[in-house]
Structure 1
């Protein structure tokens, strides 16, 4: 794959069906049981922060962000990050993650959280959330709950149970 063949661009509303198919290929039916997925059910999406990767007309990668909050303090949650299995190992996930973080920063977001592999996401600046500082509404390995502060001091305003912001509240 040459650098010119991969197109990275913001997500558009018409991408939704292709993103759903991509997530099915990348994660299978087990994705529905994960706490992070359940947190996103019925939640709003920040399509302005979503990023896609395509080769020709084939969607090969996607990352989304959704609004979450603890109490009245809003921030965003990254995920899911999906790359078509036949395109893994080519840096697409990293490119998408960097683009989504930059979109969040440009949008004025103060904090990004995610559930993921710390060795992978640490290269983007994510660090483990201190135990008990924030919790998700379901079981999560605490070593996989990560955050990235985009605005100095924002982490100090976030504590307690993370809940999704429903689409009806956006």
Structure 2
């Protein structure tokens, strides 16, 4: 049985190992990473899927400013290669979108495979006047309005707005 739940501090090592397994070091070079660096995921929107005590999938959403509009950036989404083709990625996406809507967010943006994400309602249309803070293939820059009109008039370069990661106290570093 697979359980989807909010990520905890105890999941960090397993999540990072899964992301390394799925994407390798190239994940740190992606433009989307510039919007995540040094930030915390959006409250309640860092999810893991667990099976038999092991993290087998992860997805996180991040607070951003999309041309004067509050939005979320989704990513990365990763599923253990052992479970590819079993629908876990689809389940994680639906859960992330549902939770984002329940938390009152108006839009979710991402950079990804357009045919895959179209099944969830993502398209390039809402992104026409928006840009990432670095290179990205335009056809992979996608958005989904959770509330009609949430991105109306959005224009400009995305910027990070989420909480900064707080440094550990000196006493914790010395231990």
TM-score by length of 1: 0.90
Give the 3-state SS of the residue equivalent to 2:48 in structure 1. strand
1:1-170 aligned at under 5 Å gives the runs 5-129=1-125, 132-168=128-164
Residues 49-90 of structure 1: per-residue CA shift (max 9 Å, x gap): 122111101111010000000354321011110111122111
Q: 1:168 to 1:8 in 2, by over 3 A?
A: closer
Residues 15-47 of structure 1: per-residue CA shift (max 9 Å, x gap): 222211111111001111111122211123114
The alpha-carbon deviation at position 150 of structure 1 amounts to: 0.6
Mean Cα deviation higher: 97-106 or 65-74: 65-74
The alpha-carbon deviation at position 11 of structure 1 amounts to: 2.1
TM-score by length of 2: 0.87
Computing the radius of gyration from Cα coordinates, the structure with the larger value is 2
Structure 1 stretches of 4+ with a deviation exceeding 6 A read none
Q: Name the structure with the higher helix share.
A: 1
The alpha-carbon deviation at position 10 of structure 1 amounts to: 2.3
State the distance in 2 between where 1:31 and 1:87 align. Answer: 20
Q: 1:25 to 1:47 in 2, by over 3 A?
A: farther
Q: Name the structure with the higher strand share.
A: 1
The alpha-carbon deviation at position 131 of structure 1 amounts to: 6.3
State the distance in 1 between where 2:27 and 2:142 align. Answer: 19
